[in-house]
A = this chain, B = another copy of it.
Amino acid sequence: MSKLLIVGTVAFDAIETPFGKTDKILGGAGTYIGLSAAQFNVDSAVVSVVGDDFPQKYLDLLTNNNINIEGIEIVEGGKTFFWSGRYHNDLNTRDTLDTQLNVLADFQPIVPSAYKDANIVMLGNLHPLVQLSVLEQIENPKLVVLDTMNFWMDNTWEDLLKVIKKVDVITINDEEARQLSGEHSLVKAARKIYELGPDYVVIKKGEHGALLFHQEEIFFAPALPLEEVFDPTGAGDTFAGGFAGYLAKTNDISFENMKNAIIYGSNLASFCVEKFGTERMQELSATDVQGRLEEFKKLTQFEIEIT
């Protein structure tokens, strides 16, 4: 088994969906990635920063999931990053109501010494210079996965290109792939993105699934059709955590195994959206995940003889 090093926000979210609203609850990309990867019982650590307003019970939750939190700095007198958003009726779009960077504004990530030899590095969505700083502290990673978003393309283009150049896998959504590449066709977009650095491009399409591109190969994982999506917050991070966690567990970064990894990513994301915040991920069992894997097989596998 490999060591998995995760960098990402550990934060408070306040969420409104058509089904209800929450006060400040546990959120953040690092949290979702960590909880998702924890399903594989991997040796993982989260690098992040919180204020001293961050409840011990949330830190305990991570620890209880075998996530090393040595790399989560607690800033005395600081306030934890806070995001608040309201989803529209179709849950495909949302408005940000409030963003308070707080301690995130001056975040200087420090990778715990026991994880400087991590094999798999998952750079969650953050300022590209923070992602770069983490990468510089890792000795010889086997695979680096980058998650990012349009905000960094709009505001920190040059820095983003620097980190993209150093990663093996990039995960972005379809509109971001188009923005990054200038190509509408996702096939052409992936090819342009290879030129920026990554050998593997994962394009997330939300309820429409995810595509994995490598050279001339393409693999597709659908999203599981659900009766109800309750809260999409964290689905992309949970997907990334499942992807990285499965690769860390199996210690196999072949394209064939990455196919399985994005199926597991979709699998875990399908749970994340069933309840508010991290609630569903906290109560998730291995049996749940295996049962849903069976559903993914039924959903996608077919038998046609090639004549």
Interface of A with B (CB < 8 Å)?
Answer: 89-90, 184-188, 205, 208-209, 211, 217-220, 222, 225-229, 256, 259-260, 263-264, 290, 293-294, 297-304, 306-307
The answer, among B222, B225, B229, for a CB contact under 8 Å with A222, is B222
The answer, among B89, B217, B298, B304, for a CB contact under 8 Å with A263, is B304
Complex: A228 Cα to B187 Cα, angstroms: 8
Complex: A218 Cα to B299 Cα, angstroms: 6
| CB nearest neighbor in B for A213 | B225
Complex: A89 Cα to B259 Cα, angstroms: 32
Residues of chain B within 8 A (CB-CB) of A301 are 300-301
Residues of chain B within 8 A (CB-CB) of A187 are 225-227
Contact A227 B306 (CB under 8 A): no
| CB nearest neighbor in B for A221 | B302
Complex: A89 Cα to B298 Cα, angstroms: 36
Residues of chain B within 8 A (CB-CB) of A256 are 303
Residues of chain B within 8 A (CB-CB) of A208 are 205, 208-209
Chain B nearest CB from A94 CB (Å) reads 16
Residues of chain B within 8 A (CB-CB) of A227 are 185, 187-188
Contact A290 B306, CB 8 Å, known A185-B227, A226-B185: yes
Complex: A217 Cα to B298 Cα, angstroms: 8
Residues of chain B within 8 A (CB-CB) of A211 are 225
Chain B nearest CB from A133 CB (Å) reads 35
Given contacts A186-B225, A208-B208, A219-B302, 13 further A-B contacts (CB under 8 A): A187-B227, A188-B227, A209-B209, A211-B225, A218-B298, A259-B302, A260-B302, A260-B303, A260-B304, A263-B304, A297-B306, A300-B301, A300-B302
